[in-house]
Chains A and B, each alone.
Chain A
Amino acid sequence: GAVVSQHPSWVICKSGTSVKIECRSLDFQATTMFWYRQFPKQSLMLMATSNEGSKATYEQGVEKDKFLINHASLTLSTLTVTSAHPEDSSFYICSARDLVARSSYEQYFGPGTRLTVT
């Protein structure tokens, strides 16, 4: 089946530094990838949608200059949290969908990245 990986699975960084999270589709080409954020005991909140080769579409309230998304290839999207602050500590999850080769409804989630900013 389709597998999505994320790296790192967890990261601790100091306030003011930047952190890059990678999301890879391992056995399919992901034309569209989604980035979600989840705070403890809350549901997933969509942050942005990225299509390969184009700029990401950010949800209202998500700062595009703070959360940089790059979907440079059909198997890789990255989310960079710039100038991280403790309130950015969260569980970041990506998901990917291939609208070409697979059923249109299937969307595959990565295992998530736990970010802690100290």
Chain B
Amino acid sequence: GQNIDQPTEMTATEGAIVQINCTYQTSGFNGLFWYQQHAGEAPTFLSYNVLDGLEEKGRFSSFLSRSKGYSYLLLKELQMKDSASYLCAVREPYNNNDMRFGAGTRLTVKP
């Protein structure tokens, strides 16, 4: 099994930068994902890291350190629509490479 930990809730101000951390403990690793999920909707893909380092995609960046079992999602120039839950998920190298999700971080962006 594996543990995937991320903060439960975070609050930030519109226009600011926020970093959402995720730590994981797993017997195997085949990639880490970040998803955004608005209430009552399915998750939407944000990023994928399989090698160490930073992946940048517009206002969103994701970082991975496999040796530390650590990732973060960085959101810049926050907008009100960024208020959502952000899910960290780790892919296992067995059982069809399915994903295990963290509990999610509920981000509230305030004006």
Q: Which of B33, B98, B106 contacts A49 (CB 8 A)?
A: B98
Interface residues of A, CB < 8 Å — how many? 24
Kindly state whether residue A82 has any CB partner on chain B within 8 Å.
no
Interface residues of B, CB < 8 Å — how many? 24
Q: 27 A-B residue contacts at CB 8 Å?
A: A34-B98, A42-B103, A42-B104, A43-B103, A44-B87, A44-B101, A45-B101, A46-B99, A46-B100, A46-B101, A49-B95, A49-B98, A51-B96, A57-B96, A91-B40, A93-B43, A97-B97, A104-B97, A105-B48, A107-B33, A109-B42, A110-B42, A111-B41, A111-B42, A112-B40, A112-B41, A114-B40
Q: How far is the CB of B4 from chain A (nearest CB, A)?
A: 9
Interface of A toward B, CB cutoff 8 Å: 32, 34, 36, 41-46, 49, 51, 57, 91, 93, 97, 104-107, 109-112, 114
Kindly state whether residue B50 has any CB partner on chain A within 8 Å.
yes
- The reply to whether A105 and B31 form a contact with Cβ atoms under 8 Å apart is yes
Q: How far is the CB of A107 from chain B (nearest CB, A)?
A: 7
Please, what's the 1-or-0 string for B16-46, where 1 marks a CB less than 8 Å from any CB in chain A? 0000000000000001010000001111110
